[in-house]
Structure 1
Amino acid sequence: MTWTERAATVLDDGAVRLRPLTAADRDAIRSVAMDPAIWRYFVSRVEDETSFAAFFDAMLADHAARRRVVFHITDLASGRTAGSMSYGNLSEADRRLEIGWSWLGRDFRGGGVNRHAKYLLLHHAFDRLGAERVEFKTDRRNEQARRALRNIGATEEGTLRSFNPMPDGTRRDAVYYSVLRAEWPGVRERLTAAPARPLDLMDPADQG
């Protein structure tokens, strides 16, 4: 099985459950996605039914085409949909991938969902897939997301200027972060032992 096939599985730590997105998730995702704050630094906007449909259909299309492994996130305490995160830019030959396209609904920010979801994705990447490098990127202006990534032990590597276009016509400077296999034990310790707040002090969406 390829990385993409092996990555598309159910991940659960008793606090959150991540599973591959399906078409049946449309209404549940819509119920938490219609919040303008989520999309402040995202490369797409969800503002109405038309833009939501385009956004959701793009997630499904990316997942089906194996461009990304898109996860639906369930907060197990409430049983509700919390948001979505993805694996992307999977390069099995190079043993690296990206965690991104991450966003959470208003009710699920600051309570630990992000910390648990990031732990599950990093654990699966390093301990099951055998990744040597996991990447993250975020908008240079997104100070909360940048601080959160540093707080888990990710290393800031630099800024790629004018990386991609934003919906308002500007171009985003993307800041890259990474965790390497040798650094994973320390990051794992932070994610499993530290309070939820440091990682969850973040914008509603930390990468796009």
Structure 2
Amino acid sequence: MFITLEGPDGSGKSSQIEPLAEYLRQQGFSVITTREPGGTSISNQVRDVLKSMENKSMHPRTEILLFCAARAQLVEEVICPALEKGMIVLSDRYADSTLAYQGYGHGYDLDFLRSLLNFATGGLWPDLTLYLDVDAETGLNRRKSGGGEWNRLDDYALAFHRRVRQGYVELAAQQPQRWVTVDAGQPMQVVQQELRRIVTQRLKK
């Protein structure tokens, strides 16, 4: 099963993914975790370019293509081989991030982006997407106070992050069979328990 965690910046995905993976391993599943952009040597190099505050002049079209390039390498080198071995793949972000950030955030055509994403991923989409929902202001405040690196994407205007969050809400509503929304404003442990419950139920099916 291919499971992705999506959400606005500061929603807590990166903090939740490893505890969720460890829980599934304790239940006897073979699990691998990865992240976007990144997950391979090539993809991590692209990540550095995308995140660097030195690249604030990057055009959104360049941003889209770099994300897709990193994703294509990750799919071929990590995700597909793991799925072929019967493993559960947990990914911190995936193709839906491009629809939310570059589609809703920057205003690029969603149908065009879906075609591009299908090319980059070989048509691979998640079996389950866990959407950690938090309003843009709360998420950005978490990022600022969390001690992590403030990157080029974090630095976009608040209005951009609000469009991203609304985009996620719309994407989740469009595919309720794949997306499950979790209130990420709750305490971290409560969110983790909810994620475990959702994934366990889906695996039983």
State the TM-score, normalizing by the size of structure 2.
Answer: 0.30
Would you tell me which structure has more strand in proportion to its own residues?
A: 1
Structure with the bigger RCO (C-alpha within 8 Å, sep 6+) is 2
Would you tell me which structure has more helix in proportion to its own residues?
A: 2
